[in-house]
Amino acid sequence: MVKTEDTLTAAERWKQAFDRGRVIPPSRHTTLLAGEKHLSESRGFELSLSRVTAPHLPQEAPEGQDVSYQLRASLLDGLQQMFFGQTWKSSPQKLKNGKISFNQLLYFHTTLRIPEVLLVLELVELSQRADSSHQARGRGFTLLRLFGSTATPAASEGSHRLNLHHGSPRSLLQPCLKNTAQYDQVLRPVEGAHLDLTVKSHSALASALHLFPENVLLCGDDEVPGLVDSPSGGALLKPKLLPSLTVTLSDLSLSLRPSVESFENQLLQRVNADCLNTEEVHSDTVNTLKVGQCWFKETFLWRLTQLQVLAQVPLTLSPKMRSSDPYEYMGTHFVLNELYNRITEKQ
């Protein structure tokens, strides 16, 4: 059997690696708040997602549709009302006898062990379209306050049965819910629907904390560079580090194209060629300069006598322009000012 990863091109593999590395950082205020409580050491935790009891869902899918369900987990800063880290998505599962079994272990580590950090889980219905893509529809969400005010490893450590609530997790970003202590009092629960999960500290993760970012939820099936793969998919349950190698770089050369020097030369050549090829100039002439993929459009009033003088003057950038920020001379006004100065010098 060929894995999906084996059929990907090199570009698709790089895109996947880039997407996995995209992490939303927590707010600076929350980071400072954790620092004030001397929470500088990151600690690992394990989340066991068992099953969702969902009597509100239809027991049979509509005719001709393939319906499955997915669980998504994110971290929320309740104080600043912003999600951070990265949203984890489970594999699609089927509904059987009013229950959806996930049986998934998640791992993460964080220094933000403060009451303002919440775990948000959303149940999503996936229905397949005609083009094989999936249409996602929220079917309820729940949340758990992970840490208490005493900075214990996990104030929520143990088994939990969390009620699902109507709506979307985006409702937690409403201004009226800021600094809310008891969300259960303001959110409307879905009757009979709940999620079973277990939270506990995972000290075995300490040796692998440097191999993946903080505040990122990972499952045992996720590839973590630097860890020995586990046949059972539990590489993070008992992490084993790969042997380390020492690499010495004797020389490193970077060539960024186009360079500043080549850009200046191309720009001046095109400006000079444009001026030399101008035969008739009107007061409303719009001079268009094309450099690489960039187009600059500016209107500048030139007299024919000035252009004749300009054509005889070699164009070079002044030292003042060379010392400017590399991106500033991308603006046409610098070029036009330089041309104007050359013109007035000859008059």
Note whether 212 and 277 are same-domain residues.
Answer: no
Q: Are residues 46 and 152 in the same domain?
A: yes
Give residue 135's pLDDT: 86
pLDDT digit string, tens, across residues 110-136: 999 988 899 999 999 998 776 777 789
Same structural domain for residues 206 and 316? no
Mean pLDDT computed over every residue of the chain: 77
**Calpha distance 72→138 (Å, rounded):** 10
Residue 80 near residue 117, CB atoms below 8 Å: no
Q: Do 167 and 93 have their domain in common?
A: yes
Same domain membership, residue 177 and residue 74: yes
Residues 52, 129 within the same domain: yes
Q: What whole-number distance in Å separates Cα of residue 168 and Cα of residue 172?
A: 8
State the pLDDT at residue 70.
95
Closest C-alpha among 145, 88, 79 to residue 113: 145
**% pLDDT > 90, the chain:** 32
pLDDT at 9: 80
Q: For tokens 């912003």, what's the residue? A: 82
Length of the chain: 347
- List the domain range (segments joined by +) for residue 308: 260-346
Mean pLDDT of 294-305: 39
Distance CA 27, CA 29 (A): 5
Q: Is residue 6 part of a domain?
A: no
User: Domain for residue 174, yes or no?
Assistant: yes
Residue written as token pair 């002044």 = 318
Residue 161 lies in a domain: yes
Residue that terminates a domain, selected from 162, 195, 219: 219
Q: Are residues 80 and 210 in the same domain?
A: yes
In this structure, is residue 251 part of a structural domain? no
Q: Say if residue 271 is in the same domain as residue 182.
A: no
Q: What is the mean pLDDT of residues 223-251?
A: 85
Question: 60 with 189, same domain?
Answer: yes
Identify the residue with better confidence: 291 or 52: 52
Q: Look at residue 236 and tell me if it is in a domain.
A: no
Q: Which of 56-60, 176-180, 202-206, 278-282 is modeled with the greatest confidence?
A: 202-206
Model pLDDT for residues 12-45, shown as the tens digit of each residue: 777 776 777 788 999 999 999 888 887 788 999 9
Predicted confidence band at 306 (pLDDT cuts at 50, 70, 90)? very low
Residue 227 lies in a domain: no
Last residue of a domain, one of 219, 245, 271: 219
Are 66 and 128 in contact, with CB atoms under 8 Å apart?
yes
Is 81 buried (19+), middle (13-18) or exposed (0-12) by CB count in 10 A? middle
Q: Give the model's pLDDT for residue 83.
A: 95
43 shares a domain with 127: yes
**Residues 184-202, mean pLDDT to the nearest whole number:** 91
Give domain status of residue 75, yes or no: yes
Q: Are residues 193 and 56 in the same domain?
A: yes
Extended strands (E) in 187-336: 189-201, 218-219, 286-291, 294-299
Domain count, the chain: 2
Question: Domain of 75: which CATH number?
Answer: 2.60.40.150
Strand 158-165 relative to strand 189-201: parallel, antiparallel, unpaired? antiparallel
Least confident span in 150-159, 168-177, 233-242: 150-159
Complete DSSP assignment for 11-64: HHHHHHHHHHH--BPPPHHHHHHHHHTT--S-EEEEEEEEEEE-TTS-SSPPTT
Neighbouring CB atoms inside 10 A of 6's CB total 7
CA distance 140 to 151: 30
Position 294 scores a pLDDT of 41
Q: Are 210 and 275 members of one domain?
A: no
Q: What is the mean pLDDT of residues 76-97?
A: 92
Between helices 332-346 and 260-276, what is the axis angle to 10°?
Answer: 60
Q: Do the domain assignments include residue 8? A: no
Q: What integer pLDDT is reported at residue 224 of this predicted model?
A: 84
